[in-house]
A and B are shown apart, each in its own frame.
Chain A
Amino acid sequence: MSRINLRVWLIIPDAEAATVKNTLIRRMGYGDTLADVKKERLFSIDVDSGNPQELAKAFAKELVNENKESYRAYFDGIKFEAGYVPVKVALKIEDGEAISIMYRLRNRLGFQNVRGVEKATVWKLYLKGENPESAAKEIAEGLLINPNKDSYEILGKESSVRVVAAMK
């Protein structure tokens, strides 16, 4: 079984990320610590056969609108650039959209090797100060999640395996 991770981001201005930044700075007091906010969608697709690189391209054709989005694929892990804290937010209740994507890939597009799909949002928090991960934790719990339906993880830079902080 291998896992294909697709990081997908807008190449046009992201109004949702701008709203999050504005709210954090203007309403929640992060003007001194927060430099910027960006957002990505993350699809993690488990497959039990096939060439992951070819599959990643095929999945991207279905999940990425190249008129407004770009993507990068990773296999059995994921990397993030330096300079920001990546906060992964996902539903901890059943994710209907992820289930629909799996159904679409398997049953309508014929990818019978797809075994599972997870969907998340990665908020990239560009933070100043001594302890950006602590600020990211505070921001996640104060704005980015509702703990009654969402979970979050502050991811390490190099791998999805190392989790710095999390609320499941």
Chain B
Amino acid sequence: MKIAVMQFPGTNCEYECLVSVKEVGMDGEIFRWNRPAAELSVFDGFIVPGGWSYADRIRAGVIASKEPVMDALREEAAKGKPILGICNGFQILVESGLLPGTTCNGKVEMALAQNVMISNKRIVRRGYYVDWVNIKHDAAPRRCSGSFNLSKGELLQIPIAHGEGNLVTMEKSLIQNLNDEGQVVFRYCDSNGRTTPEFPVNVNGSTENIAGICNPEGNVLGMMPHPERAFFAWQLPPHDLRKHQKDAVGTGRRIFESMKRYIEVTA
């Protein structure tokens, strides 16, 4: 079971992703964007990590989305192989038309726009933001490759670090369709799972608190939070009691374990 961790100029946390992949018992390697794209076909799954691919020039993710390797990734996605896009990886998948992927023609149906933090109907902050956030798994179990093992309503505490995670769309029925088809995988929430629309719960102003979505088939997941930064207990914030417990694991581990399980089940 071999995972390709994609690396574009400006990618970050690709090595953390690789460690996470190996820790849950999969094999993997870093796959540079300029390798022959055909070599991707030998892999069983793919991770597009976060960062600032091409320095976010024009807008986050768009330059990477034009690379030939993304055409190959689109072909692998069509075979049902799992793809996990994290943060900038999510932005790349959106700009490639792989997510939300409801039209099957590569149309860009949504944008991850600049963060706008709203409280009491007033904009209190904009731009880049780093914090630990709570997200609620809002999809059915086994609906999506990257949350295959999660129950509906399960809460995860995972860090975010981004300036453009505010999901917006001009497609009138898109959000309704995503809800109806169970494609909204994660929503920002408080520690009790309440999805109030205001900052700091809705940390970037995203429509309906959406933090992660999958494609209609469920094999492609994009999420703004960074599960690889919450993989080990020692990575958790000081207030999390699991940080000091022996044999405890980080919440982000569940994402990588889900990917592995999805591959086992669908192989």
Chain A residues packing against B (C-beta within 8 Å): 15-16, 19-20, 23, 27-28, 91, 93-94, 96, 99-100, 143-144, 146-150
- Are B57 and A146 neighbours in the complex by a CB distance under 8 Å? no
Min CB–CB distance A124 → chain B (angstroms): 15
Q: Tell me which residues across on chain A come within 8 A of B116, comparing CB atoms.
A: 94, 96
User: Interface segment, B151-159, B166-174, B194-202?
Assistant: B166-174
Cross-chain contact of A23 among B63, B111, B123, B169 (Cβ < 8 A):
B63
Determine chain A's interface SS by DSSP, over half rule: helix
Q: A23-B63, A96-B126, A143-B62 are in contact. Are A148 and B111 (CB under 8 A)?
A: yes
* B198-246 interface with A by 8 A CB criterion: none
CA gap between A94 and B126 in the complex, in Å = 11
- Are A146 and B63 neighbours in the complex by a CB distance under 8 Å? no
Min CB–CB distance A12 → chain B (angstroms): 15
Q: Which residue of A lies closest to B107 (CB)?
A: A147
Q: Which residue of B lies closest to A22 (CB)?
A: B63
Interface residue range, chain B? 20 to 34
- Are A19 and B66 neighbours in the complex by a CB distance under 8 Å? no
Q: Tell me which residues across on chain A come within 8 A of B59, comparing CB atoms.
A: 146, 150
Q: A16-B58, A148-B171 are in contact. Are A27 and B114 (CB under 8 A)?
A: no
Pick 19 A–B contacts, CB within 8 A, sort by A.
Answer: A19-B54, A19-B58, A23-B63, A23-B66, A27-B66, A27-B67, A27-B68, A93-B113, A96-B114, A96-B123, A99-B123, A100-B126, A143-B62, A146-B62, A146-B108, A147-B108, A148-B168, A148-B170, A149-B111
Min CB–CB distance A30 → chain B (angstroms): 12
Q: Which residue of A lies closest to B174 (CB)?
A: A148
Q: Tell me which residues across on chain A come within 8 A of B127, comparing CB atoms.
A: 96
B87-118 CB contact bits vs A (8 Å, 1 = yes)? 00000000100000000000011110110100
Min CB–CB distance A50 → chain B (angstroms): 28
- Are A149 and B108 neighbours in the complex by a CB distance under 8 Å? no
Tell yes or no: B130 within 8 A of A by CB.
no
Tell yes or no: B55 within 8 A of A by CB.
yes
Min CB–CB distance A83 → chain B (angstroms): 22
- Are A28 and B66 neighbours in the complex by a CB distance under 8 Å? yes
Q: A23-B63, A93-B168, A147-B170 are in contact. Are A15 and B110 (CB under 8 A)?
A: no
- Are B63 and A19 neighbours in the complex by a CB distance under 8 Å? yes
Q: Tell me which residues across on chain B come within 8 A of A23, comparing CB atoms.
A: 63, 66
Q: Tell me which residues across on chain A come within 8 A of B113, comparing CB atoms.
A: 91, 93, 148-149
